[in-house]
Amino acid sequence: MRSESTTITWQPTRGAQRRLRFEPYDDQLHRIEEVWTGCAWRQTGVETVTGLDITPTATDQTHPPATPTQHSSDP
Protein backbone atom coordinates (compact mmCIF):
# COMPACT_ATOMS: atom_id res chain seq x y z
CA MET A 1 0.00 0.00 0.00
CA ARG A 2 1.18 3.53 -0.70
CA SER A 3 2.72 5.38 2.24
CA GLU A 4 2.48 8.88 0.74
CA SER A 5 -0.43 11.13 -0.15
CA THR A 6 -1.56 11.87 -3.70
CA THR A 7 -3.37 15.13 -4.56
CA ILE A 8 -5.16 16.06 -7.80
CA THR A 9 -6.23 19.71 -8.08
CA TRP A 10 -8.19 21.34 -10.92
CA GLN A 11 -10.02 24.54 -11.84
CA PRO A 12 -13.49 23.95 -13.33
CA THR A 13 -14.70 26.25 -16.11
CA ARG A 14 -17.18 27.66 -13.60
CA GLY A 15 -16.94 27.62 -9.85
CA ALA A 16 -14.28 27.23 -7.22
CA GLN A 17 -11.06 25.24 -7.51
CA ARG A 18 -11.45 21.60 -6.43
CA ARG A 19 -9.18 18.77 -5.39
CA LEU A 20 -9.10 15.09 -4.52
CA ARG A 21 -6.66 13.87 -1.89
CA PHE A 22 -5.79 10.23 -1.32
CA GLU A 23 -4.42 9.82 2.21
CA PRO A 24 -3.03 6.57 3.68
CA TYR A 25 -5.29 5.06 6.35
CA ASP A 26 -4.28 1.69 7.87
CA ASP A 27 -3.97 -0.64 4.83
CA GLN A 28 -6.38 1.46 2.75
CA LEU A 29 -6.78 5.05 1.54
CA HIS A 30 -9.16 7.87 2.33
CA ARG A 31 -10.39 9.69 -0.80
CA ILE A 32 -11.11 13.23 0.37
CA GLU A 33 -13.04 15.67 -1.85
CA GLU A 34 -12.49 19.38 -1.18
CA VAL A 35 -13.46 22.77 -2.60
CA TRP A 36 -11.53 26.06 -2.23
CA THR A 37 -13.54 28.69 -0.32
CA GLY A 38 -11.18 31.56 -1.13
CA CYS A 39 -9.50 31.21 2.28
CA ALA A 40 -9.16 27.47 2.93
CA TRP A 41 -10.06 24.02 1.62
CA ARG A 42 -13.50 22.78 2.76
CA GLN A 43 -14.15 19.04 2.83
CA THR A 44 -17.21 18.01 0.82
CA GLY A 45 -16.89 14.25 1.02
CA VAL A 46 -14.75 11.32 2.16
CA GLU A 47 -14.68 7.64 1.26
CA THR A 48 -12.40 4.72 2.17
CA VAL A 49 -10.94 3.00 -0.90
CA THR A 50 -8.76 -0.09 -1.19
CA GLY A 51 -6.45 1.06 -3.98
CA LEU A 52 -5.38 3.78 -6.38
CA ASP A 53 -4.27 3.24 -9.98
CA ILE A 54 -3.17 6.30 -11.97
CA THR A 55 -2.98 5.61 -15.70
CA PRO A 56 -1.98 8.38 -18.11
CA THR A 57 -3.97 8.51 -21.34
CA ALA A 58 -2.85 9.49 -24.82
CA THR A 59 -3.25 13.19 -25.62
CA ASP A 60 -2.66 15.36 -28.62
CA GLN A 61 0.17 17.89 -28.90
CA THR A 62 -2.20 20.79 -28.12
CA HIS A 63 -2.78 19.58 -24.56
CA PRO A 64 0.36 18.02 -23.07
CA PRO A 65 -0.25 15.57 -20.22
CA ALA A 66 -0.23 16.95 -16.70
CA THR A 67 2.61 15.92 -14.43
CA PRO A 68 1.33 14.06 -11.35
CA THR A 69 2.60 15.46 -8.06
CA GLN A 70 3.27 13.22 -5.07
CA HIS A 71 2.98 14.84 -1.64
CA SER A 72 4.37 13.26 1.49
CA SER A 73 2.29 15.67 3.57
CA ASP A 74 -0.32 18.34 2.95
CA PRO A 75 0.45 21.90 4.12
- When divided into structural domains, the chain yields a total of 1
Cβ(2)–Cβ(71) under 8 Å? no
User: Within a domain: residue 47?
Assistant: yes
The answer to whether the Cα torsion of 44, 48, 49, 52 is positive or negative is positive
Closest alpha carbon to 75 in 49, 52, 41: 41
Domain that includes residue 15, residue range: 1-52
- C-alpha 21/C-alpha 64 separation (Å) is 23
61 within a domain of the structure (yes/no): no
pTM: 0.69
| Residue 10 maps to a domain | yes
Q: What is d(CA 25, CA 50) in angstroms, rounded to the nearest whole number?
A: 10
Q: What is the pLDDT along the chain (75 residues), one digit of tens a residue?
A: 557 899 999 999 999 999 999 999 888 999 999 999 999 999 999 999 988 888 888 765 555 555 555 444 444
Would you say residue 62 lies in a domain? no
